[in-house]
Amino acid sequence: MRKPIIAGNWKLNKTIDASIELVTLLKRELSDVDEVDIVVCPVFTSLSAINDVILESNIDMGAQNLYWEDSGAFTGEVSAPLIKDAGCKYVIIGHSERRQFFGETNQTVNKKIKAALASGLLPIVCVGEVLEERETGKTFDVVKTQVTQSLAGFTPDELSKFIIAYEPVWAIGTGKTATPQQAQEVHKFIRGIIAEIGNDEIAAALRIQYGGSVKPDNIKELMSQEDIDGALVGGASLKPDSFIALVKGAL
Ligand code: PEP
């Protein structure tokens, strides 16, 4: 049985105070949930403050990005050991906004995953096609390339630490959700790729999140699909009521 995982990607939103306010409410309202892994991914500047709030709670924290070198002359970057030191368990790698606006490629994603694993962080690796690729029938080719190149060179033991987020880019922040069937067929396809590059056991245990305009009113139908094991949520993770409803909807 794969334990569902709901992660809130707060993107570039919220001051330290606003982050503390949100996570304090989540902690109070979700304290009795133990059948779902709950993750919040605030901006870097809030990590340490959030860590103080979630200590000894059922909420874990993730960063939204990292740089693959541990330290040195890399002005403006934040590394895996520092993210770990701030209290993170997870890190999102290769989000489509990073690919689109900051030149992230499958090769940089691969380096970042290596750095995350070396520091004991669990990578949430994002893949997904843009609208034109879906409309021209290239979804499976694109996702296969992203998964195989991003995950190249990892041992079965390392692969067992991954979470993959399938996020069709045309569904992120647009209000358009992939239908549960559209999502399911790509999730199943990704699980098949993991069986090829890892093995059947790792593929069966791998958690694959769906992301793209997930809301309280569509989470149940998405989660009812065999290969959907949770959600990576942007907009609907910024308000306590909707994130609480999403977590409860995944139960
Ligand atoms: C995301 O940022 O990963 C995302 C899926 O955003 P949204 O839920 O707003 O579409």
Q: Does residue 232 have its Cβ closer than 6 Å to ligand 1?
A: yes
pLDDT of residue 132: 95
Q: Is residue 186 part of a domain?
A: yes
Q: Is residue 246 part of a domain?
A: no
Domain hosting residue 142, numbered range: 5-239
pLDDT of residue 177: 85
pLDDT of residue 1: 82
Q: Does residue 6 have its Cβ closer than 6 Å to ligand 1?
A: no
Which of ligand 1's atoms lies nearest the C-alpha of 9?
A: 2
Query: Per residue of the chain (251 residues), what is the pLDDT tens digit?
Result: 899 999 999 999 999 999 999 999 999 999 999 999 999 999 999 999 999 999 999 999 999 999 999 999 999 999 999 999 999 999 999 999 999 999 999 999 999 999 999 999 999 999 999 999 999 999 999 999 999 999 999 999 999 999 999 999 999 989 888 999 999 999 999 999 999 999 999 999 999 999 999 999 999 999 999 999 999 999 999 999 999 999 999 99
Which of 95, 104, 133, 187 is catalytic? The answer is 95
Q: Is residue 200 part of a domain?
A: yes
Q: How far is the CA of 168 from the centre of ligand 1 (A)?
A: 10
DSSP 64: S
Known catalytic membership, residue 187 = no
Q: Is residue 248 part of a domain?
A: no
Which of ligand 1's atoms lies nearest the C-alpha of 165?
A: 3
Known catalytic membership, residue 56 = no
How far apart, in Å, are the Cα atoms of 247 and each of 33, 42, 50, 215? 8, 17, 19, 10
Q: Is residue 249 part of a domain?
A: no
Domains: count for the chain: 1
Distance CA 178, CA 97 (A): 18
> Which residue's CA is minimally distant from atom 2 of ligand 1?
234
Query: The domain spanning residue 25 has which CATH number?
Result: 3.20.20.70
Distance CA 167, CA 183 (A): 9
Q: Is residue 82 part of a domain?
A: yes
User: Taking the alpha carbons of 170, 171, 176, 182 in that order, is the dihedral positive or negative?
Assistant: positive
